[in-house]
Amino acid sequence: MRVTLGVCLIAKMTAQGEPLMIVKTTRITARPEKRMELSQTIAGLLGPVRNVKGCRTFRFYLDAADENSSLLLSEWESESDLNQYLRSNDFAVLKGALAVLSSRSTDSKALVTSETGDGENEARF
């Protein structure tokens, strides 16, 4: 079984073109024999990361249809705050755990640049 790491960055923009927030998602598919270890590592990071400057939320979701699939979702006040987290020891622990527990990772990014009249976001890839 392979582990797929996907990163999606979404920035809601103000009228001046400034981001209102950054949303980072990581889709993870764990090897069955490493699933518990991965979940425990991530669970241990939830509290500390939620207290990092600029973090609005940091959540870990398990897929009800596939016990080996999960999603990490975090929201940040600014790209600067997110970048500071990406240089932190907590992110190094997460990255190390994924490296040890994964056979492959894939990253992707999207930037939301406007909202349509019905409240839906438009994204450019």
Is residue 36 in a domain?
yes
Is residue 40 in a domain?
yes
Q: What's the domain count of the chain?
A: 1
> Looking at the predicted structure, is the pLDDT value of residue 86 above 70?
yes
pLDDT at res. 12: 53
pLDDT for 18-74, tens place per residue?
A: 556 788 888 888 888 999 998 999 999 999 999 999 998 999 999 899 888 888 888
pLDDT for 14-33, tens place per residue?
A: 555 655 678 888 888 888 89
Range of the domain at 19: 6-110
Q: Give the integer Cα–Cα distance in Å for 35 and 107.
A: 20
Is residue 118 in a domain?
no
Is residue 120 in a domain?
no
Question: And the tokens for 35?
Answer: 């699933």
pLDDT band for 123, please (50, 70, 90 cuts). Answer: very low
User: What whole-number percentage of the chain has pLDDT above 90?
Assistant: 32
Is residue 22 in a domain?
yes
pLDDT at res. 17: 60
pLDDT band for 78, please (50, 70, 90 cuts). Answer: confident
Choose the most confident range, by mean pLDDT, from 5-9, 96-100, 113-117.
Answer: 96-100
Residue 41, domain CATH: 3.30.70.100
Is residue 72 in a domain?
yes
C-alpha closest to that of 5 among 53, 56, 48, 42? 42
- What 3-state class would DSSP assign to 43? helix
Q: Give the integer Cα–Cα distance in Å for 72 and 98.
A: 12
